[in-house]
Amino acid sequence: MLVLVAPGQGAQAPGFLTPWLELPGAADRIAAWSDAIGLDLAHYGTEADADAIRDTAVAQPLLVAAGLLSAAALGELTPGAVAGHSVGEITAAAYAGVFDDIAALKFVRARGLAMAEAAAVTETGMAALLGGEPDVVLPHLEKLGLTAANVNGAGQLVAAGTTAQIAELVENKPEGVRRVVALKVAGAFHTQHMAPAVEKLEQATRELTVNDPKFTYVSNRDGQTVATGAEVVERLVGQIANPVRWDLCLETFQERGVTTLIEVCPGGTLTGIAKRALPGVRTLALKTPNDLDAARELIAEAAASAGPAEA
């Protein structure tokens, strides 16, 4: 079974969109999306520096645009499941047909602005912890006032809280944790700090025309599949103030018989986790258009081995 996944905030890097704009029609599509949301996606994806694209209001629509652009470049396919990490859930939902691309970009633009505004109230951030056992790490985070905002599986957990709390975590790592790495995000996402953004995002959903997903959609909330577009959208709203359970998504992929996992642009983070958590599963990250041919080969092999309904 083929699973298509989309990365979350922090995956972006300066200039990462540049090679994708060379594909036929890509620059026109990005220009149309930019006009629709009032944000120059081409500029931020090609010329802007790391600080500029770290801005939540910029990073989130940029990531969704890149994910949709790279997924479309793969051509027609029928994945056995789709999922996204954090903001990548919007990419996955659009790919599954829950709403169209323009609606997805408008929705994620509203999300990014609301979350940036919430993040501005208190200086907050996130950091990845590599290694350590949950029964040791989680009580340590709680003692520091931090939240386990992303439980990613494969020994990776992301803590979120104030910058002072993150700094204390760096100086005082839990036993067994090898490294604490600050993430390229500008807020404590998926925590109570984002609660003010929930109501604003609920208002944005009123403009959405919603369809049921045409592919199996796996949710960050609990790793469960979601069959209706209405529930997908409801979960997308609540997700911003609640932890991402990517570990449970991985369990669902495994239970459903995943054999191949492809991560759309800017790929790398989720395939890295999958290599550790899903041994034997073939993985590929779309970083540049040079990766497309290899991805198409994996897709063809998955289809041939599983049959059209399960590929």
Question: What confidence score (pLDDT) does residue 283 get?
Answer: 98
Question: What confidence score (pLDDT) does residue 107 get?
Answer: 97
Question: What confidence score (pLDDT) does residue 207 get?
Answer: 86
Residues designated as active site: 86, 190
160 neighbors 190 (Cβ within 8 angstroms)? yes
Beta bridge partners of 226: 217
Q: Does domain 124-182 have CATH number 1.25.40.10?
A: no
In the chain, list all ranges with CATH 3.30.70.250.
124-182
Question: What confidence score (pLDDT) does residue 284 get?
Answer: 98
115 neighbors 87 (Cβ within 8 angstroms)? no
How many helices (H) and strands (E) are present in the chain, helices listed first?
A: 13, 10
99 neighbors 11 (Cβ within 8 angstroms)? no
Indicate the fold that domain 2-119+191-306 takes in CATH.
Malonyl-Coenzyme A Acyl Carrier Protein; domain 2 (3.40.366)
Which pair of tokens denotes residue 15? 């200039």
> φ, ψ for residue 253 (rounded to 5)?
-55, -45
Question: What confidence score (pLDDT) does residue 136 get?
Answer: 93
304 neighbors 3 (Cβ within 8 angstroms)? no
Q: Is the Cα torsion angle 9, 12, 17, 19 positive or negative in sign?
A: negative
- Ordered DSSP codes for 96-158: TTSS-HHHHHHHHHHHHHHHHHHHTTS-EEEEEEEE--HHHHHHHHHHHT-EEEEEEETTEEE
Nearest of 104, 90, 105 to residue 58 by alpha carbon: 105
Q: What is the pLDDT along the chain (311 residues), one digit of tens a residue?
A: 999 999 999 899 999 999 999 999 999 999 999 999 999 999 999 999 999 999 999 999 999 999 999 999 999 999 999 999 999 999 999 999 999 999 999 999 999 999 999 999 999 999 999 888 888 999 999 999 999 999 999 888 999 999 999 999 999 999 999 999 988 777 899 999 999 999 999 999 998 999 999 999 999 999 999 999 999 999 999 999 999 999 999 999 999 999 999 999 999 999 999 999 999 999 999 999 999 999 999 999 998 887 544 44
Question: What confidence score (pLDDT) does residue 134 get?
Answer: 87
Which pair of tokens denotes residue 299? 């897709």
DSSP state of 205: G
Rounded CA-CA distance 268/262 in Å is 10
In the chain, list all ranges with CATH 3.40.366.10.
2-119+191-306
Question: What confidence score (pLDDT) does residue 308 get?
Answer: 45
Question: What confidence score (pLDDT) does residue 145 get?
Answer: 95
pTM to 2 decimal places = 0.93
From the number of C-beta atoms within 10 Å of its C-beta (0-12, 13-18, 19+), residue 22 rates as exposed
